[in-house]
Homo-oligomer: A and B are copies of this chain.
């Protein structure tokens, strides 16, 4: 396994994802983004808008990984309880944060800051704010937990704002090798042998299916350029041998 591992988990909060009404677009985006920073996403959970479930997941994940990124549940309505759950998980007070109010005043007048909207300025004590250039109500970071909006455009902007403060790992390079219509079942055994020879790389085989048939891709991921090159060469040579025998 690679050295200097920086890990992360993603916690998606919201009934609307679990009912299937809203199709999550954040998991894949965050995963790809963090991978680019050399941070390995090791786990994702989706939980409902229920305090006990959110707090339990927050504590399980923040203790286990370098970073925990959450999405959802920071709006003004009654089902937006993420900030309160984070405060509970950390055992710190939560109240309206004047820095957050100032940010929100960039977009609305003070007389429009009703009680519901002020809920969006409730920030656990000790958190740093994460700017939201779109609707202004901020996300925040407390210790290793980064709390972001669920609306993809806002989440993405928050991720851009928080990224410079993250400790990245050595980036992982991925090499994709097209196996085309060569069946997985034909190359699975020799690919497994190659994977055993390179225990520090991740080697996976990914079929995709369309009515025209299967198209398989082999992906080699790792942090050591020399090993990646050697594994790629071994796989290409193995596939060429099989194709020659098939042809």
A residues neighboring B (CB under 8 Å):
12, 14-24, 27-35, 40-49, 53, 75-79, 108, 112, 114-117, 119-120, 134-135, 151-154, 172, 174, 184-186, 188-189, 191-192, 195-196, 202-209, 214, 219, 221
Of B47, B188, B219, which is within 8 A of A117 by CB?
B188
Cβ B19 vs Cβ A174 within 8 A? yes
The docked-state distance in angstroms from the alpha carbon of A44 to that of B16 is: 13
Chain B nearest CB from A96 CB (Å) reads 14
Residue of B whose beta carbon sits closest to that of A47: B43
Q: Give how many copies assemble into the complex.
A: 2
Chain B residues with CB under 8 A of A24: 24, 27-28
Which of A17, A20, A30, A115 has the largest count of B CB atoms less than 10 A from its CB?
A20
Q: Which 5 A-B pairs have the closest CB atoms?
A: A20-B32, A116-B188, A20-B31, A78-B192, A23-B28
Chain B residues with CB under 8 A of A28: 17, 20, 22-24
Of B43, B45, B172, which is within 8 A of A53 by CB?
B43
Cβ B15 vs Cβ A33 within 8 A? no
Cβ B78 vs Cβ A191 within 8 A? yes
Chain B nearest CB from A59 CB (Å) reads 14
Residue of B whose beta carbon sits closest to that of A191: B77
10 extra interchain contacts, Cβ-Cβ under 8 A, other than A19-B32, A20-B41? A15-B202, A15-B221, A17-B28, A19-B174, A20-B29, A21-B174, A21-B206, A24-B24, A114-B185, A135-B209
Cβ A209 vs Cβ B20 within 8 A? no
Residue of B whose beta carbon sits closest to that of A31: B20
Q: Given A28-B24, A53-B43, A151-B209: A19 and B79 within 8 A (CB)? A: no
Cβ B15 vs Cβ A204 within 8 A? yes
Chain B nearest CB from A5 CB (Å) reads 13
